[in-house]
């Protein structure tokens, strides 16, 4: 592995359409003025791009359509140096897409997503690419994968003894990870996703920390619950704590969670101690928040370690 670590990322790659409304109220049944940004997204794709920028040798298993968006997504993955040999390009589905409507304060108001194409990542397809599992130092997944695909991912990871890191992705999808909690080396969930996974509502910060401990009791080696501007809570079987977010000017918080998950995957690949993994995650989130883009184009290990020393 010539100094680099090998990562396999599995999950969605999609077109992101971010609509920033300019008025406080949206007029129904009319076209409303907005600033509309197009970009590449999908949680797994974002994680893969972060990891390649953090020095990883990254392969992505995802699926796109033969349409213009899919072609551009695959081209961009190649341009940044991600291996795309295991990407599915299909004529049977359109490329996945996410449309998010954001308020003036940059908070998400409502979103829609179409990730059906990801169903093409079947157990058979994953088995065909088992050499990528064998070669990986860490595997990172999002929660868009079907239950059957998830079962295969964890079976192959077990067979080749590779740690798996998961991003809980959305509250609805997070629950798919429940059967696999005992097999996770790391889980990054935001507050709503952790609530959905545990079937509970956290009333305060203490309960979030308890939630992280509960996830660790259920078998996650390193459980992380992110809390936006409040930072995060984390737990392993023998330590737990809360860490504040880095104090940075918020340019665009979208993608911070994905960057955090990527840094956690890097930490697992390198066998870093849990507290260092979590701190690197916070640094990656902060670096993403000061960037307009969903994946900060100049994120790097050097930049993260610089943030950690100040």
Ligand X SMILES: Nc1ncnc2c1ncn2[C@@H]1O[C@H](COP(=O)(O)OP(=O)(O)OP(=O)(O)O)[C@@H](O)[C@H]1O
Phi-psi region of 169 (alpha: psi -120 to 50; beta: other; left: phi over 0): left
Beta strands per DSSP E along 236-294: 240-243
Closer Cβ to ligand X, 79 or 105, answer by number: 105
Task: Quote the Cα angle for 138-141-147, to 5°.
Answer: 125
Which residue in 255, 274, 277, 287 binds ligand X (CB under 6 A)?
Answer: 255
Burial readout 246-258 (b: 16 or more C-beta within 10 A, e: otherwise): beeeeebbbbbbb
Which residue in 152, 258, 295, 296 binds ligand X (CB under 6 A)?
Answer: 258
Supply the minimum distance, in Å, between the C-beta of residue 274 and ligand X: 15
Asked whether position 289 contacts ligand X by CB under 6 A, the answer is: yes
Closer Cβ to ligand X, 123 or 171, answer by number: 171
Stretch that binds ligand X, among 175-183, 215-223, 253-261, 299-307 (CB under 6 A): 253-261
Strand partners, 225: 189, 233
Which has the closest alpha carbon to 60: 7, 15, 96?
7
Dihedral sign from CA coordinates of 116, 10, 175, 207: negative
Which residue in 11, 42, 211, 257 binds Mg ion (CB under 5 A)?
Answer: 257
Spell out, one character per residue from 201 to 240, where the chain touches Mg ion: x when CB under 5 A holds, - when not.
----------------------------------------
Supply the minimum distance, in Å, between the C-beta of residue 223 and ligand X: 13
Q: Which residues bind ligand X (CB under 6 A)?
A: 190, 226-229, 231-232, 245, 250, 253-258, 260, 282, 285, 289
């Amino acid at each position: 592995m010539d100094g680099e670590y090998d990562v396999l990322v599995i999950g969605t790659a999609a077109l992101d359409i971010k609509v920033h409304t300019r008025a406080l109220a949206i007029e129904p049944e009319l076209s409303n003025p907005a600033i509309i940004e197009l970009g590449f997204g999908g949680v797994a794709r974002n994680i893969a791009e972060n990891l390649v920028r953090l020095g990883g040798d990254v392969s992505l298993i995802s699926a796109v359509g033969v349409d213009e968006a899919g072609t551009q997504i695959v081209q961009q993955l190649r341009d940044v140096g991600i291996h795309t040999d295991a990407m599915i390009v299909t004529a049977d589905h359109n490329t996945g897409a996410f449309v998010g409507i954001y308020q003036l304060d940059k908070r998400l108001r409502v979103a829609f997503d179409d990730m059906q194409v990801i169903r093409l990542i079947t157990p058979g397809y994953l088995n065909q690419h088992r050499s990528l599992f064998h070669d990986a130092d860490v595997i990172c997944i999002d929660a868009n994968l079907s239950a059957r695909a998830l079962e295969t991912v964890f079976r192959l990871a077990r067979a080749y003894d590779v740690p798996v890191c998961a991003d809980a992705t959305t509250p609805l999808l997070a629950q798919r990870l429940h059967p696999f909690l005992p097999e996770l080396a790391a889980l990054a969930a935001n507050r709503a996703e952790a609530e959905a996974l545990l079937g509970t509502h956290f009333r305060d910060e203490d309960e979030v920390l308890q939630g992280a401990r509960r996830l660790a009791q259920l078998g996650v080696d390193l459980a992380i619950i992110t809390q936006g501007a409040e930072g995060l809570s984390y737990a392993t079987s023998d330590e737990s704590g809360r860490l504040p977010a880095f104090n940075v000017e918020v340019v665009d918080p979208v993608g911070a969670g994905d960057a955090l998950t990527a840094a956690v995957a890097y930490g697992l690949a390198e066998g870093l101690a849990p507290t260092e993994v979590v701190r690197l995650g916070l640094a990656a989130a902060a670096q993403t928040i000061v960037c307009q883009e969903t994946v900060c184009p100049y994120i790097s290990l050097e930049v993260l370690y610089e943030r950690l020393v100040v």
